[in-house]
Every structure is written in C-alpha cells, then in structure tokens.
Structure 1
C-alpha cells in the first residue's frame, strides 16, 4: 500500500478574535483549508475580510484563538513563539507586498541569512542558485535601496524561497507592481508550484486568480469556494 503524504499545509476550523474598544471582531470563523504539494490556491475577498489574518496564522506569525495548523506534517499552532519560528524558518516561505528584505544587507546576504535560519547550507552555490532563479545573478551585492521596484519584488521572492519551503505564503505580492513585473512574479510562483511547493496567495489581482489552480473567497471570515482550473 502506498504511503499517504501529508498536505503541505492544513488548517482546521480556525477562529481569530480581535477587540476594538468594547467591540469584538471575529476575523476568522471556523476556516479550514488544505493544500497538497504543488497546488496553488488564490484567496480573494474585500479588505477586512480576514485574508491577512488567515495567512499570518498559516505561517505561524499569529496564533489562532481556536483551531490548528499543520505545516509539512508538523503542528505549528499551540507552540511557544520560538518553536513556531523554527518551524516557519525550515518549512514556510513568506512574501509580503513590501518589507521582505533587511535594508542593511545586500540581496545575497538576505538570502544567506534566511538559509542560516533554516539550518541549510548558506555557501556561495546556494545563494547563486536563488539569485539565478529570479534573474538577479548580477545584483547579489546590491543593497535593497539600489534596486528597482521589480528587482525588489524578485529579490523578496528569492528570500522567501531561500529555505526550499514546503509552502510559500504570499500576501498581495504583486499589488504595487506594473503588469510586466506582475507576470514575471506569477511565472516564478508557477515554476515553484511545478517543483512541488504549495503556493497560497491572497490577492485582489485578476491575474493571480487566473494563474491559480483553485480560488476561494473569504467573506466575513468564512470561505466560499470559487472554482478550479
């Protein structure tokens, strides 16, 4: 009998509460999701629907008030912050709309630092490979402030992929990019999915939803399935 492979990321009945003065806001209402290796899921929904909260919980950046998350077969919820950070560094790539790079480090140093956190070899070959993947072979010695907007986006993706993650989680990664750069980033994400990484992207972009294997909409903290390619 063939072995059953655990999903790259799985969440069961996630709840997340926030308080604003005397008002309680229920950001996530029992959300469940599962992604297999190589699957690309796009999460849409209006601002304030809970997309960023969901991604933070899946990445171990936030702890849900109820429910559980597993990444690469390991439970990341209900653990100390340090334990969550270790699991995230080893198994999760995180890409935000901005702020993915340490400004005082070069692009190569950013990648090397991410690989060191993941306990992976951080020699020249691994860094050069990540730079080549995103077309920045000649920009490894540049500081983030010396890059164009498109180069910053590609460098951020290189850092997110530095640990060879089981799951790549991206929050509006193309929101500030022109159409040409957006296509380039989506092509890189598609290539990563084709190599077996589960890709989960929260976005308002129609281009992102067209590229994904599956699309769900988050409304009032709950999922509504939109379709599959």
Structure 2
C-alpha cells in the first residue's frame, strides 16, 4: 500500500506560560493522501497552527511522530528537518513568505535553490502564469496588490514542486474574488498530486476541501467528507 503523503501519529505539544502548562496538541493523529485537500477547522487557540508547524518540521512535538512522503521529519536535527522541508514541503502562511528585497522571480528562484533544484530552465514564465502573475516577475512584493502578494506567496510555496503543501489561513486577508482564485489554484495543485493541508476559519476553504477535520482544545473532535 502506498504511504500517505502526510502521516502524524499521536502528537503532543505543550508550552509553558509562567507556572501554567498549556497543552496545544493532545494525541492528534491524521493522514493526508497524495492529491487530497484537507481543511483543519476550529476556534482560535485550538492547536491548528501548532499542528501545521509540526507537520512542516517548523516545530518539534513533545510526543508522537510525523512522516512526510514516507520520510520521518520528527526527532531529527533542525538542519535535517530544514532539508526535508525544502525538498518536499511547501509552506504558505497568511503573512506571506516573500523576502521584501527580492523580486517575485528572485523569491521563487531562491526557494528552488534551497530545495537544491538544478540550475537552468526553471519554467519561470509558466510558474508565474499558473498563479495569474504574468509579467510581474520583476516586481518587488511592495509593488503588488494584496491579491497579487497572496498569489506570489503561493508560487514561492510551490517553487520546490512539493509533495505536500501546508497552508495556515492563506485566504484570511483576501476578498472573496481573490479567495476563490487561490482556492482554484490549490485545487489545481491537488489535481496534480500534491497533498494539501489547510488551516482556516473560512467556510469557503472548508467547502472546497475533500475532507474537514475539526480541532478543539488540541484534540480532533470530528472528521467529515465534503
């Protein structure tokens, strides 16, 4: 049987706030298959962002394990996690993932270098066209509209042609038209085989998913097919 693109088993994560211990994740397990879109829902503080950070190797759980494309990303040194992330995972956050002093094209090429893709033709024209940014490769992030920034950030997240895309509130500050466009791009990516895991409060994001997982107080309280 083919390994899932994402497999997380019994993840626990706690933080200390003064003398108080906060349990952000309480034994969370999930799997996302290649080409599947899964939405994480739940109130603020429910553990969605912490779960995404653990899946992406940006944070280390206190218990449990995560595999991405059959490779264990937990219990590894930060350098090893960063390498796996650069090669196999695209990360997209609401605040964007663009370096302000680089153009859109330079941001994409930098992400590809981190993933150690060979130099040469990088299909830049096609990459920009795929996210609706034809002719904007030489623009700096500060010269883009809000919707264009969101599209550019997605292009950077996809620069390493990832098997897994992890997105935290990617449409939180977008108008309805731009949100639909971004969701369409995520659907296209899933159709090409990428596993997409998105945390969001948006009903549109949940409706566009193949499956919805509800997270509350660090626990999964419900799953449903859409």
Alignment partner of 1:162 is 2:159: yes
Which residue of structure 1 lines up, in the alignment, with residue 93 of structure 2? Answer: 96
Which residue of structure 2 lines up, in the alignment, with residue 182 of structure 1? Answer: 179
Cα 1:71–1:163 change in 2 (3 A) is: same
Which residue of structure 1 lines up, in the alignment, with residue 81 of structure 2? Answer: 84
- Secondary structure (helix, strand or coil) at the match of 1:95 reads strand
Which residue of structure 2 lines up, in the alignment, with residue 203 of structure 1? Answer: 200
Deviations 1:125-153 (Å, cap 9, x if unpaired)? 42222111101120000000000000000
Which residue of structure 1 lines up, in the alignment, with residue 19 of structure 2? Answer: 22
Which residue of structure 2 lines up, in the alignment, with residue 110 of structure 1? Answer: 107
**Post-superposition offset of 1:124:** 4.4
**Post-superposition offset of 1:227:** 1.2
Which residue of structure 2 lines up, in the alignment, with residue 149 of structure 1? Answer: 146
- How do 1:120-139 and structure 2 match up within 5 A? 120-139=117-136
* 8 A Cα contact 2:96 2:150, kept in partner: no
Separation (CA, whole Å) in 2 of partners of 1:226 and 1:35: 12
Separation (CA, whole Å) in 2 of partners of 1:165 and 1:92: 5
Query: For the aligned residues, what is the CA RMSD?
Result: 0.9
When normalised by structure 1's length, the TM-score is 0.97
Instruction: Structure 1: give runs of 5+ residues left out of the alignment.
Output: none
Deviations 1:78-102 (Å, cap 9, x if unpaired)? 0000000000000000000013100
Separation (CA, whole Å) in 2 of partners of 1:54 and 1:79: 17
- Secondary structure (helix, strand or coil) at the match of 1:157 reads helix
The number of residues matched between the two structures is 226
When normalised by structure 2's length, the TM-score is 0.98
Separation (CA, whole Å) in 1 of partners of 2:187 and 2:112: 22
- Secondary structure (helix, strand or coil) at the match of 2:4 reads coil
Instruction: Structure 2: give runs of 5+ residues left out of the alignment.
Output: none
* 8 A Cα contact 2:111 2:156, kept in partner: yes
Alignment partner of 1:41 is 2:51: no
Cα 1:68–1:33 change in 2 (3 A) is: same
**Post-superposition offset of 1:6:** 1.0
Separation (CA, whole Å) in 2 of partners of 1:226 and 1:79: 30
